[in-house]
């Protein structure tokens, strides 16, 4: 994390970080520091790293949740429409909202954007889940195909919006689809933390029930779990996390897929371990990816979604190949 703070177009030393923090907390109010360094650190670098931490954690936990719910280790929010739905919802308010709400748009924008992201994300996820489930069993091939279809539908809607939008808006939408942390500021950091941390804590309470769900729905029922209410709660919480994250940083793919997978290979798929572990490892991996995105074509920066997809997609294919060839599924 500290390394991530130092890396970037403007170099910042450890000493400068220390002094800036000390000043921010009220110690050493008259310590000497270059104003550029302090400004970059406090207003750009620090919020960005903190946002990376929570987004990485949120998306990874969401991946772990979806994998437990769909009982399949290749599911992640980008695959089943959660992310693309959220992106469309956000873009819709972003483009149409201004004409619609007129001068109140600024006030409403703060709430309307994530709210609309949530609604469309929930619709997309629920559709994929309902269509791929019959009699309590999930058909994987149908799930993936429906996911592709819903993603394409959402992407085309978003594409339509960016086509009718005026130029600066259109550019922002493009960035949204690719995912970027460049817009990080303290407001967005606060918003994402305020939603994600309570959601993760709530989700942790369901981890035992989610474990039981891995056995199948009827088996979980025999273990005394109300599967219908569990599914509803988990889908809601998960969509909540993904929608907020996506409305702030856009679509960042494959993190939610890979992080729980790494943890399973290290230890186990006990969801208690998986959710806590995803929070930590997700934060680290997201920061690494963000560093790469800032350094690779410095002084310019790449949208982070490009980095995660570039690394994640081959891993995804490798996973599919293992499922195809391996005996007894993935981790045997």
Partner 1 sequence: MLEVKDIIYKIEDKTILNNLSAIFKPGELNMVIGPNGSGKSTLLKIICNEITHYSGKVLYDGGVLSKKDKLNIAKKRSVLSQQSELSFPLSVEEVVLMGRYPHFNLYPSVNDKEICLLALKRMNMEDFRHRNYLTLSGGEKQRVHFARALAQIWEQPEDTCRYLFLDEPIASLDLNYQHEFLRITKEIAEQNTVVVAVIHDINLALQYADKAILINMGNVIAKGSPAEVITTENLFAVYGLKCRILQNPDSSFQYFIVE
The residues of the shown chain that bind partner 1, judged by CB under 8 A, are 71-73, 137, 205, 208-209, 211-212, 214-216, 218-219, 221-226, 264, 268-270, 328-332
Sign, Cα dihedral of 123, 158, 188, 184: positive
Nearer to partner 1, 109 or 216 (CB): 216
To partner 1, the closest distance from the beta carbon of 322 in angstroms equals 12
**Is the backbone of residue 15 left (phi > 0), alpha (psi -120 to 50) or beta?**
alpha
To partner 1, the closest distance from the beta carbon of 163 in angstroms equals 42
Nearer to partner 1, 26 or 328 (CB): 328
Nearer to partner 1, 23 or 208 (CB): 208
Nearer to partner 1, 84 or 211 (CB): 211
To partner 1, the closest distance from the beta carbon of 238 in angstroms equals 18
Neighbours of 290 (CB within 10 A): 30
Nearer to partner 1, 217 or 290 (CB): 217
To partner 1, the closest distance from the beta carbon of 80 in angstroms equals 17
- CA dist., res. 5 & res. 236, Å (int): 34
To partner 1, the closest distance from the beta carbon of 221 in angstroms equals 7
To partner 1, the closest distance from the beta carbon of 98 in angstroms equals 46
- CA dist., res. 145 & res. 138, Å (int): 13
Nearer to partner 1, 74 or 157 (CB): 74
To partner 1, the closest distance from the beta carbon of 318 in angstroms equals 17
Confirm if 9 and 295 have CB atoms less than 8 A apart: no
Confirm if 307 and 289 have CB atoms less than 8 A apart: yes
To partner 1, the closest distance from the beta carbon of 291 in angstroms equals 31
Reading the block at residue 157, the tokens are 């809607």
Coil/strand/helix, residue 224: coil
Nearer to partner 1, 161 or 209 (CB): 209
Measured CA to CA in angstroms, residue 231 lies from 71, 85, 206, 222 at distances of 12, 19, 10, 16
Measured CA to CA in angstroms, residue 283 lies from 103, 279, 280 at distances of 38, 6, 5
Nearer to partner 1, 123 or 270 (CB): 270
Closest residue by Cα to residue 124 from 153, 65, 77, 81: 81
Reading the block at residue 210, the tokens are 């989610």
Confirm if 180 and 42 have CB atoms less than 8 A apart: no
């Amino acid at each position: 994390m500290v390394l991530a703070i130092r890396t970037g177009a403007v170099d910042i030393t450890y000493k400068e970080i220390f002094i800036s923090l000390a000043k921010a907390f009220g110690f050493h109010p008259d310590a000497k520091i270059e104003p550029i360094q302090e400004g970059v650190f406090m207003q750009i670098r620090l919020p960005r790293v903190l946002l990376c931490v929570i987004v990485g954690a949120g998306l990874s936990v969401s991946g772990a949740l979806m994998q437990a719910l769909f009982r399949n280790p290749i599911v992640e929010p980008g695959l089943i429409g959660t992310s693309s739905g959220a992106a469309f919802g956000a873009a819709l308010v972003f483009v149409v909202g201004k004409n619609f709400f007129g001068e109140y748009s600024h006030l409403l924008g703060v709430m309307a954007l994530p709210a609309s992201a949530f609604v469309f994300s929930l619709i997309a996820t629920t559709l994929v889940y309902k269509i791929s489930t019959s009699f309590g069993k999930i058909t994987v091939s149908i799930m993936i195909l429906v996911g592709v279809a819903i993603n394409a539908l959402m992407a085309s809607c978003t594409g339509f919006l960016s086509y009718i939008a005026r130029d600066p808006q259109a550019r922002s939408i493009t960035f949204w689809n690719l995912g970027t942390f460049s817009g990080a500021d303290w407001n967005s950091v606060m918003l994402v933390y305020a939603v994600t941390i309570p959601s993760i804590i709530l989700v942790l309470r369901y981890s035992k029930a989610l474990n039981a769900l891995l056995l199948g729905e009827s088996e979980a029922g025999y273990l005394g779990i109300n599967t219908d209410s569990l599914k509803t709660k988990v889908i809601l919480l998960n969509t909540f996390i993904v929608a907020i994250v996506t409305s702030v940083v856009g679509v960042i793919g494959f993190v939610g897929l890979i992080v729980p997978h790494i943890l399973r290979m290290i230890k186990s798929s006990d969801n208690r371990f998986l959710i806590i572990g995803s929070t930590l490892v997700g934060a680290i991996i997201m920061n690494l990816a963000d560093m790469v995105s800032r350094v690779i074509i410095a002084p310019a920066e790449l949208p982070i979604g490009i980095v995660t997809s570039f690394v994640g997609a081959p891993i995804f294919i490798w996973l599919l190949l293992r499922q195809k060839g391996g005996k007894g599924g993935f981790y045997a």
